Amino acid sequence: MILLRKTTFFNLTLTAVSMLWITAAWAETVEYDGLIEPDLIVEIGAPAEGIVTRVAVDRSSPVQKGETLVELESSVEQAALKKAEALAAFDGEIRMQRTQLAFAKRAHQRVKQLEAVSTHDKDLAATEIIQTGHRLGKAREKRSLARLELKKARAVLALRSIKSPISGVVAERYVSPGEYVNSQPLLRVVRIDPLRVEVIVPARIFGRITPGMTAAIIPELPEYGEKTATVTIVDKVIDPASSTFGVRLELPNTHRHMPSGMKCLVRFEIKDEACGVEKATARITPDQVQN
């Protein structure tokens, strides 16, 4: 009798899988009260004292950089400018000295060829050339000074016209035609494109708000809707009394549509990385097990 023994083999393989790290990200939404302000406020004064003759703008008037806002009485300065222009254009003395120099050179050439002329007279002729050259140089110096005086007269006259140093909107007008001004401000001009948002936040989130981050701005007037602003400044000093620090954001305001001075809500999405969670897995398969 032949006995047949059946042998069954099972494969048993234990494979250790490398560690898998799972990083969990989470975000904290925080909201704080803020204030929408002009990006820049300029109190425009007069560089010289005088009487106001014209105010070209009024409150809420839009202005461009370099635009004339206020003019002061300038009759004296205009007269000085005309005189300086005339002196700068005058070159009669220069032409005269050029003619004298050319004559002195011709006379010197004739004197040198005459044997009957004494050495003293020849020296006088040569000296006349030198002296005329100096007079010509002095005339040119006078013309240069006249041109400098012309530039000065133009600069003095320009001080009678006060121009806007920025593009923006007139917030306040302090003077009217006929008033005498000296050192007081004439106008207040503000730049509202872009706007800036100032917000005070608690010290517990210090280091989690950085320049370049964005935040949602919800103005108190709902018709302006939710906007996006970018963090530009984060204070490096925490106020110990209130345990807070300040943050400034830049808010685009194309065409100066949104007014400044509104309260708003500033919403930050602060993201953090949670600790890694280690997870190990194993897989077992049959592999050549003999029964």
Residues 55 and 93 in one domain: no
2 is a domain residue: no
Residues 79 and 59 in one domain: no
Q: Is 228 exposed, middle or buried (0-12, 13-18, 19+ CB in 10 A)?
A: exposed
291 is a domain residue: no
- Give yes or no for a contact between 68 and 189, defined as CB atoms under 8 angstroms apart: no
Please give the tally of structural domains in the chain: 2
166 is a domain residue: no
| Domain interval for residue 118 | 75-159
Two tokens at 113?
């060829």
Helix (H) or strand (E) holding 71: strand 68-72
Residues 209 and 244 in one domain: yes
Q: Write the CATH number for 46.
A: 2.40.30.170
Q: What Cα–Cα distance (Å) separates residue 21 from each residue in 29, 30, 134?
A: 26, 29, 92
172 is a domain residue: no
Of 116, 144, 159, at which residue does a domain stop?
159
Q: Give the pLDDT score at 25.
A: 52
Written as one string, the DSSP assignment of 233-250 is: EE-SS-BTTTTEEEEEEE
Residues of the chain with pLDDT below 70 are 1-26, 115, 272-291
115 is a domain residue: yes
233 is a domain residue: yes
d(CA 201, CA 46): 40
Residues 54 and 192 in one domain: yes
Q: Write the CATH number for 132.
A: 1.20.120
Residues 111 and 194 in one domain: no
